[in-house]
Structure 1
């Protein structure tokens, strides 16, 4: 029997930095959940099974009392206690809760109305709770969402594609989910923010601090205008295991996953594997066949049935949604030839200059300039300070 105060009074005291009063039962449940976060590593299915069966308070009391667990084998229980009990510390739990309150991080449990129920698809490997900085209610608005992930050492091509996809998707109301890392992740978050859309960053360490440190401003921006999420308590450091387990949350939280750029053994393939295991739609962006940074995406397309993604419309199709290009096309099909090529290179959401449109269309810039003028007279396109875009139907 291990002495540890799980009373309502101890729970209320530990939770008091958040400035929220809970009834006795709720306070004990939330406190026990915070204790479990200190004891276990992400994805601990043994803890997930006993907590799922008994609830966080009863499960923790039984562990502390050296009780019996019919749902576990004797070896599972012995090994689990060896993992968990050396981490038991009321001071550490109180410290993480105080750090969370100081940084505006909210403890979100499965009983809370903002809990994203799609995470429950992970079964015994689902997180016990989430530590959330930003708008927790945004986690209920991810029915239309896509994980945009890829290499940290992204090429200029990968960075460009990630920005284009994230900007168009976010501007059309599709949330962009990623991991806050350098490379593809950062490009996707920034583009979604610039487009005024929702973006969610899932961190491998505590939500109270950015990792990598060079993304401190970016993570702060995401927290201010979207949401930053972690399943480990504030103050926890990111580790290799936690990065891998974080990837399962990215895949489970999103309606689909798109790998923009990845090497043959990239960690992004781990995220893709979780998406496939959850039967979530999976897409991958092709690159040059000689590019090592696209070897992983080509592997996903060839060996794992990932859909080939070349535009935001492809992602919408992956999500079962209509494409912007289809919605923007006139019903009579009158535009053909060069005019169609120019419009295919444009978007209703993203402004592009004539040079970029010409590059996308594979046409000479002076020819494209003339066609844009004619299309503008027809009302099919519009111009602005930032360039050109397709006119939106209905204004």
Structure 2
């Protein structure tokens, strides 16, 4: 049974289903992501199976604007713009507190969901869920390449999608190996696309060696493992060597700290960095805020097609430590990143430990040593007026 996605009864019933799901789950913090739903084969925003297997293609390109309200180049769409707008409104209204993602297969759905007025209604910009990592790129055919109509016409939706792929959540899944493609080429493409399109998450199944009965070829394993390790964020923090300074009046110590993201994508949830100044006994004597925006650290894809790591993105900040009231002695500046992605009036509240950084030295509370600070007695005496 294939529904008529433009039928008023179907749309009304699906809108009610989405509303019921939203009432039950939108405030539940155990639900992190909800995928735009209501249209297409496998709810993936296209009808390629209907076109290829059931001889039920969508309108031809020359007829698509009149029939659908937008241009469809590959006869893999049959939902109208009006129906899309109903489903967009229903999904957005049902899950305003939950991260939404969508397949990028339909250009009009992308245009609607990436619009500023939709973003303002949501907890975060809509992300992208891409099928077939290692086979198809996250940038869909309608928006990629010189033969694509939307590229030829310089439609703003192409640039909007490309920007969204670099700044929002991008979820992918591995795909079955196509006939005629080597496993080496498959894993190499998967890794390149993870870096190029800032993929946040891969899947744990569907890759060619998923159900293998013998060990994976070591060279292929390295590629596969690197792809999974590169996806998402991999933050680290350290002090610039020799950056500690003291103000002329001896009242403030300054330490230059560098945050770096070695992964393919920035964090999209609310992760908040901060610092502690700890004395020689391990007691916290100062709690200091950080100003760095981890979401802004988006690594670049390398230009070299053989490279297996993205180009890290870094940002520096000066951490100021007020010395008044601190006894002379040895101190350590420690950093952590706390998860604060709580939903307003949420249920089943979830709390995560501080972020695992891509470095050694984590203590039991999730903090990492960044720099040491020695306060000599003469500075302490001058600062405290003794």
Task: Assess same fold via TM > 0.5.
Answer: no
Larger C-alpha radius of gyration, 1 or 2? 2
TM-score normalized with structure 2 length = 0.27
TM-score normalized with structure 1 length = 0.26
More helix by share: 1
